[in-house]
Structure 1
């Protein structure tokens, strides 16, 4: 079966890296330019999606596929030893009552920026029932993106150091960082009480004055690849959607 990489119209650096890797593997590539899929695209045997959140559900539905996403309460339910900070699932209405600052974000989408807010600073224009994660404010020393397939780490890269994107440093990490990251991620993947889809992206990092911790889980089909190996990312993406 010949996979076909399905891309949106945006020519991002990540999309281009995956396009080149797919061509090198002998895959077909289709770049979608409209909401309604042409018949020849819908007929492909194995669509592999790399999509933007806005277009993703509607496009996948036309292929009769369901995109895998983490449950909105995945991070709060993670054992404290892996998150190293307090996090709770709430609603935007409840978050607006906060009179002290907290790190607040939508669980899975980017509907509003993830950052530190007080209740009065939260953006308007969203339903009161919008789910949000309310987290203790911490400072991250460094953060790594990990693409995972069947509870096996396929590729990773350091994407932030003290909040600074590492593109100019070519996402480089040290052997010591790799050793400690692999040890922490292996512990997570070996813990069967932690629910993970077949294909997942888990961000981990080091909290200043604490230890290694999970930042969040992301849907693989829309996650930035940063310095990760695009060929290995494609292997994960093959399992990031299931039959609807």
Structure 2
């Protein structure tokens, strides 16, 4: 039976997953600190959920290799699914840019993902740090999708007009739900789109009314919003593999 392991940081998402794991008969452990106790290093099936900043060090101690999107995944995604120009660059190379662009680290939140001109980019980071640079688009709404074996397992609205949709309970319309399922279904069925076994895909509607992919995220560090925690657990179970097997 799997053992779900959390970092010391408490959150609504970890509490929801804890309850779901208990319903399914999993063991659950919350780490007391950032060092993994010896008795957790030899678990037969550890499943990790936590912040991206701490994932690499904790997973190494657990003997897990966590699944992460390739840095250029969004760049290589067929244009029909992203609907905007996106390129992989470096922080230093973008400092000379005078045109506004949406700039973000590929796989973490080391600095805020937002629209910058070159002179506004943050200091204090390696100039060779990779960044994704994309056209500026306006998202009407954005959805989080947990995917396993190229099947949509659970999803939730998380943003509307750039604002977190918490006040509405992350509610979406039946028309939006149908549009999302159609778009994600086409993307997942396309053999040109390479995906790990377990992942999160964010998608939404841009101005103009078309659906597009926002990004791919690692499932083990993704927020749930109103996603079904029982379904999320099954995705998390396959979001990491044993380092020795």
TM-score, normalised relative to structure 2:
0.97
Q: In the alignment, which residue of structure 2 is the partner of 1:35? A: 34
Question: 1:25-68: CA deviations, max 9, x gaps?
Answer: 11110001222221222232211110111211111111211110
Instruction: Find the residue that maps to 1:99 and give its secondary structure.
Output: coil
Task: Deviation per CA, 1:80-124: give whole Å up to 9, x if none.
Answer: 100011110000011111011111000001010000100000000
Structure 1 runs (4+) deviating above 6 angstroms are none
State the distance in 1 between where 2:157 and 2:237 align. 23
- Look up the match of 1:111: 110
Where structure 1 has 5 or more consecutive residues not aligned to the other structure, the ranges are none
Q: Distance in 1 between matches of 2:53 and 2:189?
A: 33
Structure 1 residues 68-79: aligned runs within 5 Å: 68-79=67-78
Cα deviation 1:5-31 (Å, max 9, x = unaligned): 100111111111111111111111000
CA distance in 2, matches of 1:171, 1:78: 27
Partner of 2:213: 214
Which runs of 5 or more structure 2 residues have no equivalent in the other structure? none
How far apart are the structure 1 equivalents of 2:116 and 2:239? 32
The answer as to whether partners of 2:157 and 2:226 remain within 8 angstroms in 1 is: yes
Asked whether 1:177 is paired with 2:155, we answer no
CA shift for structure 1 position 174 = 1.6
Three-state SS of the structure 2 residue aligned to 1:11 is coil
> Which residue number corresponds to residue 51 of structure 2?
52
Residue in 1 that maps onto 2:20: 21
CA distance, structure 2, for counterparts of residue 174 and residue 70 of structure 1: 29
Over the aligned positions, Cα root-mean-square deviation in angstroms equals: 0.9
Q: What TM-score do you get using the length of structure 1 for normalisation?
A: 0.98
- The answer (yes or no) to whether the contact 1:84–1:210 under 8 Å persists in 2 is no
Give the CA deviation at 1:210.
4.6
The answer for the alignment partner of 2:2 in structure 1 is 3
User: 1:214, CA displacement in angstroms?
Assistant: 0.1
Matching residue of 1:122: 121
Q: Once structures 1 and 2 are overlaid, which stretch shifts more, 137-146 or 18-27? A: 18-27
SS in 2 for 1:159: strand
